[in-house]
Amino acid sequence: MAKLIFEGKSYDINEGVLKELLRENHLDSKIVGGSVGKTLVDLFHTVEKDEVIDLFTMEDPKSAGLYRHTMSHVMAQAIKRLYKDAKFAIGPTIENGFYYDIDVDVPLNEEELKKIETEMKQIIKENLSLEKITMSSDEAIKYFESQNQPYKVEIIKDIGDSSVTLYKQGEFVDLCRGPHLPSTGMVKNFKLLNVAGAYWRGDEKNKMLQRIYGTAFYKKEDLEGYLKMLEEAEKRDHRKLGPQLDLFSIHSDVAPGMVFFHPKGTTIRRELEKYWREEHKKANYVEVVTPMVMNEALWRQSGHWDHYRENMYFTEKENQMYAIKPMNCPGHIMIYKSQTKSYKDLPLRMCELGTVHRYERSGVVHGLFRTRAFTQDDAHIFCTQEQIEDEIKGVISLVDKTYKLFGFPYKVELSTRPENSMGSDEIWEISTNALKNALDHVGLEYQINEGDGAFYGPKIDFHVRDSIGRTWQCATIQLDFLMPERFEISYVGPDNLEHRPVMIHRVIYGSIERFIGILIEHYAGAFPAWIAPIQVMLLPISDKHLKYSRNVLRMLDENGIRVEIDDKPRKISYKIREAQLQKIPYMLVIGDKEVENESVAVRLRSGKDLGDLKVDEFISRISEEIKSRSQNSIYGE
């Protein structure tokens, strides 16, 4: 028999439609769906033998998958009412929302979105019941051909199943697997966000469709909070702040998807690298540098030629094919193989700030977040099976220290063996338990993602939360048994026999470029002093204060403080405003009083005036702030 679970109680049930089984068992009428493992199901789901279904109401966060999917259909129905000739492609849910790709002649601008929203509200008011229909593929193709919906026809043909499911609400019918809510009137809090272009099937050779993004929440306050977050995120967009603060630029005409770091952006990058090197040296890593271009034979052996070739760049010289490296791991293996290794040499922790190149379609390239060239703070640990747990704990400690430095809370996910994986059950059990034990021993809470590991081993992912509540996947730790096997690397054990080491792949920042983008948005460009490109701006009130100001500049510079002077002939109020726009942590105003007292008037970028301070005292305080890499100003802001 199958089983239903609701509010801690279990109900044995027969096979059948979930909606009818709930009625038979007199279960709560507020139930809107359930989950079978990771898969969400709706009330139209046909329960099969031995299934276990966890039921939930609209109050449960899992219900978002149902009501956002339903809202995408409500939006499509509204569009069909307004634009009779509209043709629909796909309309899935995404994190915090949904979208639909539509082929329609009318440019869907902000004004059109308002019309669509008005019609959506009408459909919600009509409270239309949803109905799930199973139809043979041939019948479905004929139906959608009659409705002039060529994209649906193409999808059905590609699926290749004998039958498909459709969902009907009022006059609107759509090809869909579900799941959905029972009716259109159950979610009232939604907002259409924007329109973007999207090639059909992501192929630039196909027609450009219009993709409408929307969001929906069960509670009005949750929607309002999310919209405020989006508004704040727009102000923090690194693609705007980066050029405004003169940190970087992107020139798609000469290097699409690649970043040009300006002096200020390079300063941030070098500070990140400096911290990284310090911490890796403390953790007994050895830093290496591997070639950017290597022979195709290496990439065939690693498996990248077969599985990653479309994302790689190639060049041919002297009748030899070479690839620009998309990953650093094969290079590290070549270093490992260059000398015979003993068990006494392990663990060997090898790290590199290695720049890699990966081809990404132009439609997915996105500022610093998705680039075609980026630098990974890569490391590979070669160790014995017995050393796995201690090595994982060491990496976790480094991740924790780094994220605390930037004020990032984080959550952890452990992904286990997928269906199509390599290696024995014994190896997978040993490695998965090693990751679990390491997480347990350091006291980290974690979520298990069953079957979501890499095909070559389980992994741990770290998701950081920024200052406005968004999460970003950054650090990852992956166990790998495949690469050591492919390259036949070994070490000599205490028994004088050769053994296969385990390889641990890990990054802390991930991509340096992406991490800088995250930091720009996390801090809204107002970096802590230790990482700020300019830490202090000197602001002489007039030309007669320039001589003393330059003496102060020399003193600050000699103490390793990044300082500039605004000696332009303009009012002090303009100088202060300009320094605030550049988000410089400290402004030192210098006038007659400061020259006479050999002091500086300290102002923060927030606008707070801290009054006069002797130059030596200011240098002492800011030097301590920089040295400690403090998140906050020495003055509490």
Query: What amino acid positions are annotated as catalytic residues?
Result: 329, 358, 376, 378, 380, 459, 505
Task: Give all strands (DSSP E) within 247-301, no chain letters.
Answer: 248-249, 260-261, 286-287, 293-295
Q: φ, ψ for residue 82 (rounded to 5)?
A: -85, -35
Rounded Cα distance, 61 and 33, in Å: 12
The separation between CA 42 and the C-alpha centre of its own chain, rounded to angstroms, equals 29
Query: Which phi-psi region, left, alpha or beta, contains residue 70 (left: φ > 0; alpha: ψ -120 to 50)?
Result: alpha
- Give the chain's length: 637
Rounded Cα distance, 531 and 259, in Å: 19
Residue with tokens 């994302």: 311
SS3 505: strand
Give the residue among 597, 634, 631 at the shortest CA–CA distance from 612.
Answer: 597
3-state helix, strand, coil in the chain (%, to 5): 40, 30, 30
SS3 20: helix
Q: φ, ψ for residue 316 (rounded to 5)?
A: -125, 130
Task: Give all strands (DSSP E) within 421-558, no chain letters.
Answer: 447-449, 459-465, 471-480, 491-492, 498-499, 502-511, 536-540
Amino acid letter for position 271: E
Q: Which residues pair with 471 in a beta bridge?
A: 465
Inter-residue contact 43 to 182 (CB < 8 Å): yes
**In the structure encoding, which two tokens stand for residue 379, read together?**
């490391």
Rounded Cα distance, 406 and 268, in Å: 13
The separation between CA 193 and the C-alpha centre of its own chain, rounded to angstroms, equals 20
**In the structure encoding, which two tokens stand for residue 429, read together?**
């059990």
Residue with tokens 């830490």: 535
User: What count of other Cβ atoms lies within 10 Å of the Cβ of residue 115?
Assistant: 15
Inter-residue contact 4 to 150 (CB < 8 Å): no
DSSP 510-540: EEHHHHHHHHHHHHTT---TTT-S--EEEEE
Inter-residue contact 299 to 330 (CB < 8 Å): yes
Inter-residue contact 431 to 388 (CB < 8 Å): yes
Rounded Cα distance, 5 and 91, in Å: 30
